Amino acid sequence: MRGRTARYRSKLRIIADILTVINEEGGAAGPTRILYGANLSHERMMRYLAEMEEKGLVRRVEVGNRTLYEITDRGRKLLREVRKMEEFLRAFGLGI
Amino acid sequence: MIGWFIMLSSTLEVVEGLVAMLTCYLALRFYSLARERLFLALFTSFLILGLGLLIHGLAAGVVLLMAPRLRPSTFVLTLRSLALTLSICEAFAYGLLAYSYTRYGAPRHGGQTGQGVLPSLMLMPALAASPTNSMGQEVVVGLVRFHPLLEGLILAILAYLAFKTISNFLSEKDVNPFLVSFSFLFLAAARVCFVLAFSLTILYITAHVLQLLAFLSLLIVLLRVVRA
Please indicate, yes or no, whether the overall pTM of this predicted structure exceeds 0.90: no
How do the domains of chain A map onto residue ranges? 11-90
What CA–CA distance (Å, rounded) separates B131 from B116? Answer: 23
What CA–CA distance (Å, rounded) separates B47 from B20? Answer: 7
What CA–CA distance (Å, rounded) separates B33 from A12? Answer: 8
CA B220 from centre of chain: 19
Q: Is A81 on the interface with B (CB under 8 A)?
A: yes
Side chain identity at B105, as an amino acid letter? G
Q: What is the ipTM of this complex?
A: 0.77
CB contact (8 A) between residue B101 and residue A93: yes
Higher pLDDT, B122 or A18: A18
Q: Which of B40, B22, B141 is nearest to B96 (CA)?
A: B40
Which residue pairs from B128-137 have beta carbons closer than 8 angstroms and sit at least 24 positions apart in sequence?
B128/B72, B131/B68, B132/B67, B132/B68, B132/B70, B132/B72, B132/B75, B133/B2, B133/B67, B133/B68, B135/B2, B135/B67, B136/B201, B137/B1, B137/B2, B137/B5, B137/B201, B137/B204
Q: Is B26 on the interface with A (CB under 8 A)?
A: yes
Chain B positions in Cβ-Cβ contact with residue A94 (cut-off 8 Å): 38, 42, 100-101
Picking from B30, B171, B176, the nearest residue to A85 by CB comes out as: B30
Residue to test with chain A: of B168, B170, B217, most A Cβ within 10 A: B168
Q: pLDDT confidence of B184, banded at 50, 70, 90?
A: very high
Size of interface A-B (CB pairs under 8 A): 61
Span of B38-47, B93-102, B194-203 with lowest mean pLDDT: B194-203
How do the domains of chain B map onto residue ranges? 2-226
pLDDT, tens digit, 9 for 90 and up, residues B131-182:
444 456 666 666 666 677 888 899 999 999 999 999 999 998 999 999 999 9
The half-sphere exposure of B25 on its side-chain side, counting CA atoms within 13 A, is: 11
Task: Count the neighbouring beta carbons within 10 Å of the beta carbon of residue B168.
Answer: 25
CB contact (8 A) between residue B26 and residue A92: no
Distances (CA, A) of B200 to A43, A64, B122: 68, 79, 18
CB contact (8 A) between residue A96 and residue B177: no
What CA–CA distance (Å, rounded) separates B21 from A21? Answer: 35
Residue B114 burial by Cβ neighbours in a 10 Å radius (0-12, 13-18, 19+): exposed
What's the mean per-residue pLDDT of chain B? 82
The secondary element (H helix, E strand) that includes residue B227 is: none
Q: pLDDT confidence of B125, banded at 50, 70, 90?
A: very low
- What secondary structure, in 3-state letters, does B69-119 show? HCCHHHHHHHHHHHHHHHHHHHHHHHHHHHHHHHCCCCCCCCCCHHHHHHH
Q: How far is B56 from chain A (nearest CA, A)?
A: 26
CB contact (8 A) between residue A3 and residue B225: no
- What is the bridge-based pairing of β-strands A66-71 and A28-29? antiparallel
Which stretch, A50-54, B67-71, B106-110, has highest mean pLDDT? A50-54
pLDDT, tens digit, 9 for 90 and up, residues A12-56:
889 999 999 999 999 999 999 999 999 999 999 999 999 999 999
pLDDT of residue B183: 97
CATH 2.40.160.40 fits A11-90, yes or no: no
Span of A13-27, B102-116, B180-194 with lowest mean pLDDT: B102-116
3 state DSSP class of A86:
helix
Chain A positions in Cβ-Cβ contact with residue B179 (cut-off 8 Å): 91
Q: Is A3 on the interface with B (CB under 8 A)?
A: yes
Q: pLDDT confidence of B76, banded at 50, 70, 90?
A: confident
What CA–CA distance (Å, rounded) separates B166 from B194? Answer: 22
